[in-house]
Amino acid sequence: MEGMSLGIYVSIPFCRTKCSYCNFASGVFSKAVFGRYLDRLGSDVEGAAETGAEMGGVFQNHVDTVYMGGGTPTLLESAQLQYILKTLRRTFVFDSKAEITVECAPGTLGLSVLETLVLCGVNRVSLGVQSFIDQEAASVGRLHTGRTVLAEIDTLRSAGIENINLDLIAGLPHQTAASWDESLQQAIDSGVPHVSVYMLEVDDDSRLGRELIAGGARYHAHFVPDEDLTADLYLHACTRLEAAGILQYEISNFARSGSASRHNLKYWTRQPYLGFGVDAHSMLPAPAGAGLESVRFSTPDVLEQYTSGAALSRTPVTWSAALEEAFFLGLRLTAGIDLSELAERYGTSATSVFREESAELCSKNLLELIDGRLRLTPRGRLLSNEVFARFLGAKAGSRS
């Protein structure tokens, strides 16, 4: 991990409306808050080296991916977007071919914003579509139409930004097999190189999730497909996208050849990254001899606490904990994990640490071992949380 280029994540937690399914640390705030937030964010970027040292990590300033998410970063004014990206470029050394992604809500790509993205070197945009069916999008608080999405894809391409991702959600209110297929077809026909497909999360961290758990009808909860249909929609997406040459490389991510998200791959392959802004997470390698593999740290997940300068949360990562992470993060990838590579990094005993868990999961058709690579089966991808739980907290051996 030491010596690898950094990925940078920038959290912009501001939204036009709060989608009913959203469980992120974002919301609707007065624009008067934006300036105070950016002041703190800019200060954190400029002090990144000192923060990394204080957290006990090995810092280096070469960057090859940036991801600005939220929230809706394109709600910021052009000057504010430029401030963030210029501050990053002053502080870090950017690779000449760095992947620079900005998340955009369809309908927020005005001319001045688009010109700013191009000016600042943004070369990848992720559009939060969720559904091309207007009724479905509106039911969860999205303000765009399917026609808006297609128009903005054309606008981005005309500006020279062709590396575009579309987010889709299986299990939205009013969704049917036919309407889901229509959304998939629109995504395929658009010709974008990357599609992310998520199954609707039902938990108490979102308004829609709480209503579903309570059995209520607010937020169109009584029109949400059941779990079996949602799983079928996800499997259908895997089949339809694969047939169109948009291949699955991670549980929720599909790409045409050469278009996988380089930034997100850093998370799943445990490469170093720094996060700035509210609820932003970082991981840096630990120095040799520290007795640790790496260190993780994060900012508060409440806007007021972040802007007031609340302390970071720090988590040291032991070698055994790093091995656990390598299993449950690496298994997210369609290619799975190379056991010989794990043995090389974590010691020859690494491949035997989870032998019992792996054998049990293989017997349940949740994992498969092929040519030295352990990976999820199609059934395992549907039940991935169950699989990952078997590796988290299990007793891992130390590095030999």
- Whether the per-residue pLDDT at 2 is higher than 80: the answer is no
Higher pLDDT, 33 or 176: 176
Q: What is the pLDDT of residue 217?
A: 65
- Work out the pLDDT band at 390, boundaries 50, 70, 90: confident
Q: Give start-end residues of each CATH 3.20.20.70 domain in the chain.
A: 6-265
CATH number for the domain formed by residue range(s) 6-265? 3.20.20.70
Q: pLDDT tens-digit profile of 222-270?
A: 577 678 889 999 999 999 999 999 999 999 999 999 999 999 999 999 9
Q: 174: helix, coil or strand?
A: coil
Distance CA 310, CA 292 (A): 25
- Whether the per-residue pLDDT at 278 is higher than 70: the answer is yes
Q: What is the pLDDT of residue 40?
A: 96
Q: What is the pLDDT of residue 206?
A: 65
Q: pLDDT tens-digit profile of 76-135?
A: 999 999 999 999 999 999 999 999 999 998 988 888 889 999 999 999 999 999 999 999
Q: Which amino acid does the sequence have at 25? A: A
Q: What is the pLDDT of residue 108?
A: 86
Specify the residue for token string 């051996």.
Answer: 397
Mark out the alpha helices in 47-173 (DSSP H runs): 48-54, 78-91, 111-119, 134-139, 146-158
Q: pLDDT tens-digit profile of 350-380?
A: 778 888 999 999 999 999 999 999 999 999 9
- Work out the pLDDT band at 348, boundaries 50, 70, 90: confident
Q: What is the pLDDT of residue 71?
A: 82
Q: What is the pLDDT of residue 257?
A: 97
- Work out the pLDDT band at 55, boundaries 50, 70, 90: very high
Q: Which amino acid does the sequence have at 334? A: T
Higher pLDDT, 1 or 235: 235
Phi, psi values for residue 276, rounded to 5°: -125, 140
Write down the pTM of the prediction: 0.91
Distance CA 12, CA 25 (A): 10
Q: Which of 95, 98, 96 is nearest to 68 (CA)?
A: 98
Q: What is the pLDDT of residue 396?
A: 42
How far is C-alpha 383 from the chain's CA centre? 19
Tokens of 387: 């699989």
Q: What is the pLDDT of residue 250?
A: 98
User: Is 66 in contact with 93 (CB distance < 8 Å)?
Assistant: no
Residues 6+ apart with CB under 8 A from 279: 11, 13, 24, 25, 298, 299, 300, 301, 306
Q: What is the pLDDT of residue 14?
A: 86
